Amino acid sequence: MKILVLEDEDEKFEQVRAHVVEIMPEAIIQREKNWLDYSRAVANAKFDLILLDLIVPRSARDSALEDHHASLVETTRDYHSKSFSTPAIVLTRHSLNEGDFVHDLNLVDINVIPFNDHGKWREALKIKLLAAQPAKKFDVVIVCALEKEADAFEGLTDTWGPVTTISGLICREVRIGEYKTVIVRASRMGLVAAAVSAAFALDRFEPRLICMSGICGGVAGESEIYDLLVTQTCHQHDAGKWSTTGFKSEHYDVQLDVNVHNKLVEVASGKAMTNLQAGLDPGTSEVPSGRERVSCKIISDAITSSGSAVIAEGGKTSTLAVGQRKLTGFDMEVYSVYEAARHARSRTAVFAAKAVVDDGGKNKGDSFHRIGCLLSAKFVVAAIRAGTADVWEH
């Protein structure tokens, strides 16, 4: 939040600054001490909130105090000013009971708050600060359906913020390289929750990239435990109609953008493959039956299928493959994230990378979840660092 403060008294400025920082620790405060410098500031920069006193010097060269209330509206609400629509608060110890002056200020979103030792100005300023807080924007949104999928990113990002609610979404702010990133955890598993979370995140955070990380099921013969599926084409397998003859599916699919796919192929062919398996430290139960060690391959052209129903029976995956030449895996959310990005107001890159933790056979259960979540998170971080958010800018 960027705040402009016009105040010549050091003691008063420090009280205001301390209160602002207490409420908004990340606030950027620019101070001006005279009317001329204030006029230049509001004209040349966009602020989120303006706090000012009207009894200040005219310029740095003239220390005599002057009352500038007569030119307040003309200066602050000049249409050529970059901050002409910014909410403003007059914090003053002086009386401004001059006819309809205060009423006229309210009409142009300039409020007057008496500054005194009683401290009532603090609560009034707090309300205004919270109301003027700009919506948070992020370069990248990472959507996860499970807490364990989101927690897998700890130690992989450059910063690691606390879990907090932003615009109604469960979030954790992080930084990955130069990219301001937020991890959004859906309220529950499934297509609906993923669609709501992805759509809200796209609308409220306006990212350049939205991606999904986590774990999924694999199709026997096409993928194995810990294989990383980067979805190139995703179908929705539970859309259709039930009748007396059974379930007849309706074919819906959404595809990855060619530029994004090419970038992910580059990532999969580079150091990501080498670094993916480093530091996993698997336990005995985390090594799949029939293997001596944990290994995985990145399938960068995976065809997957999403549906809100969990597939817990091995034979059911063959039903999903009907009409598909090569189905690689299935999950409960990717289709919704891809579809939400396709309908976003601004063009947004999208991809999903999920690790197989269930092959529908003897390797089944929760034993592979930790490493699966970590493999997926590692690839997603590598793809973000490689500049996947910028594929349309080059």
Report domain extents, the chain.
2-132, 140-390
- Cα-based angle 356, 306, 196 (whole degrees, multiple of 5): 115
Taking 80 as the threshold, does the pLDDT of residue 379 lie above it? yes
Mean pLDDT of the chain: 87
Do residues 211 and 143 touch, judged by C-beta distance below 8 A? yes
Cα–Cα distance, 251 to 258 (Å, whole number): 22
List, for residues 165-198, the tens digit of each pLDDT value.
Answer: 888 899 999 999 999 999 999 999 999 999 999 9
Cα–Cα distance, 216 to 345 (Å, whole number): 29
For CA atoms 202, 207, 211, 213, the dihedral sign is negative
Cα–Cα distance, 326 to 320 (Å, whole number): 10
More confident call, 173 vs 64: 173
0.75 exceeded by pTM: no
The mean pLDDT of 228-241, rounded to a whole number, is 87
pLDDT level of residue 3 (50, 70, 90 thresholds): very high
Most confidently predicted of 61-65, 160-164, 309-313, 362-366? 160-164
Architecture of domain 2-132: 3-Layer(aba) Sandwich (3.40)
Domain 2-132 and domain 140-390, same fold? Reply is: yes
Taking 80 as the threshold, does the pLDDT of residue 360 lie above it? no
CATH class of 140-390: alpha beta
- Cα-based angle 260, 276, 290 (whole degrees, multiple of 5): 120
More confident call, 114 vs 320: 114
Count of CB atoms situated within 10 Å of the CB of 249: 18
Cα–Cα distance, 302 to 109 (Å, whole number): 54
Helix, strand, coil shares of the chain, percent, nearest 5, are 30, 30, 40
pLDDT level of residue 318 (50, 70, 90 thresholds): very low
Cα separation values, 162 from 99, 127, 210, 213, Å:
50, 24, 20, 19
Report which of 160, 60, 73, 150 is spatially closest to residue 111, judged by C-alpha positions: 73
Report which of 176, 167, 170, 178 is spatially closest to residue 143, judged by C-alpha positions: 170
Within the chain, what is the greatest distance between any pair of CA atoms?
91
Q: According to the model, what pLDDT value does residue 101 have?
A: 67
